[in-house]
Amino acid sequence: MPILEICTGSMAGAFAAREGGARRIELCAALEVGGITPSAGLIAAVREISGLQLHVLIRPRGGDFLYDEYEAKCMEHDIRLCHKLGVDGVVIGALTAEGDIDVAMCRRLVGAAEGMSITFHRAFDMCRNPEQALEDLIELGCHRLLTSGQAATALGGATLIRRLVQQAAGRIILMPGCGVNSTNAAEILEATGAAEIHASARRDVGSGMLFRHGGVNMGNKDLDEYARKETCAEEVRAIFKAIHGFE
């Protein structure tokens, strides 16, 4: 049966993912920049939710995936903290300036994981040679690759993902992600031959604030401070039903 992973950044989102039928979540913060490592407090709190496998994004900042030694040490520390908190897996990624997998740095991160499941994230979609990158990840011992097939959406990258599934030949799990929803999830799985799929299943949620101070922003003047996107249990359930062939 296909496995549905939901990317979320809150306790409410984690509960919604479980309610909708997801088997696993990727926990992160700042989804608006593609995600960064969430706080230790949030990780610990979500770990207490039963019935969910918990994977945590290890990414020290937004932007590119070229990291210096200080950032590498930060990621190693975060991974070890995740291990202490009982996290099931971590989601990592690093590239060289030339656009290849940073094998040396990723080997350090895999080593810090001490047996946790390892997913390589969508840094893969920014690398220059996906076929060689896939072999590098297999050699590193990664268990899973999250990818949009180097396209704007997983549906758009389905052809490359299918080729990578065939190349992998069971040595690593390919998990399509990006732009996945209840209307295309089944199509993406069929087109790629993948057995896992990744979605955020988010919808706009309004603030419960009664008093509202207009004209003040917390960092981005284009964002509404009294609205946010949150994982929606109904959309998770719709994706789950779609990929399992339910009416």
Classify residue 212: in a domain, yes or no.
no
The mean pLDDT of 195-205, rounded to a whole number, is 93
Classify residue 122: in a domain, yes or no.
yes
User: Which pLDDT score, from 0 to 100, does residue 122 have?
Assistant: 97
The mean pLDDT of 50-56, rounded to a whole number, is 96
Classify residue 219: in a domain, yes or no.
no
**What distance in Å separates the CA atoms of residue 73 and residue 60, rounded to the nearest whole number?**
10
User: Which pLDDT score, from 0 to 100, does residue 247 have?
Assistant: 46
Tokens of 144: 């899973």
**What distance in Å separates the CA atoms of residue 205 and residue 8, rounded to the nearest whole number?**
14
User: Which pLDDT score, from 0 to 100, does residue 232 have?
Assistant: 95
Max Cα distance, the chain (Å): 57
Residue showing tokens 């988010």: 202
In this structure, are residues 106 and 140 in contact, taking their beta carbons and an 8 Å threshold? yes
In this structure, are residues 215 and 187 in contact, taking their beta carbons and an 8 Å threshold? no
Classify residue 79: in a domain, yes or no.
yes
Classify residue 213: in a domain, yes or no.
no
CA 179 to chain centroid, in Å, comes to 12
Tokens of 212: 């509202």
- CATH code at 86? 3.20.20.380
> Domain range for residue 14?
3-205+224-243
Is 0.85 topped by the overall pTM?
A: yes
Classify residue 18: in a domain, yes or no.
yes
The mean pLDDT of 39-63, rounded to a whole number, is 97
Closest C-alpha among 127, 185, 192 to residue 160: 192
Q: How many residues does the chain have?
A: 247
Classify residue 217: in a domain, yes or no.
no
Closest C-alpha among 206, 36, 186 to residue 121: 36
The mean pLDDT of 190-202, rounded to a whole number, is 97
**What distance in Å separates the CA atoms of residue 94 and residue 71, rounded to the nearest whole number?**
10
Classify residue 218: in a domain, yes or no.
no
Q: Which residues contact 168 (CB under 8 A, 6 or more apart)?
A: 134, 138, 174
The tally of domains found in the chain comes to 1
Per-residue pLDDT tens digits for 65-106:
999 999 999 999 999 999 999 999 999 999 999 999 999 999
